[in-house]
A and B are shown apart, each in its own frame.
Chain A
């Protein structure tokens, strides 16, 4: 094949008349896939407090706390979004299906304290 310089010029010129490949975030939103691992959601009704999610969490971001009494248990889930790596291992570990991930990915906050959330 005979080599010559500037082979890409024609291809590049064609793209002058095409739509840009980028989007103007945050005015246009990205398409988030339905099984994207975003912020967790927690359903306290089914939780039995087995703490398997806490045991398997690689960063210690999740905590399940019993706020009720010993007889009448009532669980709360606290998550530190600063520590969470969004691996969703807790979702896999949960045998009762209390935990699930959402497509919520815009989690930036101005204050570090606000990373600690109650789900």
Chain B
């Protein structure tokens, strides 16, 4: 008779270098139930945004995610521009597209390396991260930093793209294209890769719709869900490209979608560089944003990124809400894990390209007795933690803690 055992994977878990707890119930080697526990990385970004001006918020929003910082700031800027009724200059829109696609290049190359690492194919990790460095150098050249580029500003972009930079970008693109062709050849001809990734983390088209998956996860299930196509923003309406889909519905499909998207991004950047119009870089923006509420969305490397802003007529927003793409993809995770083997868990988790700190937005406490929502102040939380540890044989009440001053 089989006996089920439950093991926790995480919060310090073997898959990625961020905290998340997966409670896996196993029957032998098979996962029968998985519970996803995120919420270790709540940083209170949205609340911090309410206390700062729109310009200051831009830099907080940019730090929602370390990898897709540009897409978050684009979504935020678009929302503010929409509220203020400002149309950004065309050249600024093109520069935003170029940055977004370079970001997608480095994000997908990063994912390719991580996926290789998770399945023990570290040679691939070394090569794809070596290539990613070249893209990061380009981003540093354009924006002034490797990850937080700081190129967006409400009303346009902060820096121009010089002709010499365009030449440098094209040189690197040629190199990346050549390398990526080799990776595609590798994905299609390497027997171990297909055997290791094929058939695991299965998410059918119907399930992808049911769980609301976005980005490469939904595109690998055959849904052409790409905000760049369905709700065009910046300069994507001018640029011809295709949304990449695949019908494998598994981790192999997600790898194929990402590798082919790298080719598509290269095509978009080349077109944008050749057809970039000359114009101003920034449109005049008022400091006080008129009253109203707006939703703005962009296609992050991980999927659809949604920003909501409610303005109250001052220079500070009334409410900012960020729905990062990783958050949408977590819902299908338990379904994807169930039925697979324990050894497949890390790569299935890594296949959605999760970003934990992007996910954690708000905590709602529910009373376990009544099931109602509950609000705790600082003292209440402290008392709870003392009682929690007392039950486990550790008395924390004697530890002196400085009075918490909440700075908003």
Contacts and interface: CB of A to CB of B under 8 A. Distances in A.
Interface of A: 1-8, 11-12, 21, 31, 33, 35-37, 55-58, 85-89, 92-93, 101
A36 B140 contact: yes
A89 B55 contact: yes
Contact of A4 (B137, B148, B189): B189
A11 B58 CA distance: 43
B191 A11 contact: no
Interface residues of B, number: 34
Contact of B123 (A12, A35, A56, A93): A12
A5 B186 CA distance: 10
Given A89-B58, A89-B150, 14 more contacts: A3-B194, A5-B190, A7-B190, A8-B123, A8-B190, A56-B56, A58-B57, A58-B60, A86-B145, A87-B59, A87-B62, A88-B150, A89-B56, A93-B55
A37 B141 contact: no
Contacts of B150: 37, 87-89
18 contacts: A3-B188, A3-B189, A6-B192, A7-B186, A7-B189, A8-B124, A8-B186, A21-B133, A33-B140, A35-B144, A35-B159, A36-B144, A37-B144, A56-B56, A58-B60, A87-B150, A88-B144, A92-B153
Interface in B148-180: 148, 150, 153, 158-159
A73 B159 CA distance: 33
Interface in B44-80: 52-53, 55-60, 62-63
Interface in B239-296: none
Interface in B18-64: 52-53, 55-60, 62-63
B59 A85 contact: yes
A57 B55 CA distance: 9
Contact of A1 (B55, B140, B141, B189): B189
A89 B186 CA distance: 44
B181 interface: no
Contact of A58 (B52, B127, B133, B144): B52
B182 interface: yes
A86 B150 CA distance: 9
B141 A58 contact: no
A5 B191 contact: yes
Contacts of B159: 35
A116 to B, nearest CB: 19
A6 B190 CA distance: 7
Nearest to A34: B141
B390 interface: no
Nearest to B59: A58
B13 interface: no
A5 B148 contact: no
Nearest to A36: B144
A56 B53 contact: yes
B130 interface: yes
A3 B55 contact: no
Interface string B180-212: 001001101111101000000000000000000
Contacts of B192: 5-6
A36 B245 CA distance: 37
Contacts of B123: 8, 12
Nearest to B133: A21
Contacts of A89: 55-56, 58-59, 150
Contacts of A1: 188-189
Nearest to A91: B158
B188 A92 contact: no
Contacts of A4: 189-191
Contact of A37 (B56, B137, B145, B185): B145
A33 B127 CA distance: 24
A117 B185 CA distance: 53
Nearest to B144: A37
Contacts of A55: 53
A2 B194 CA distance: 12
A88 B143 CA distance: 11
B133 to A, nearest CB: 7
Contacts of A86: 145
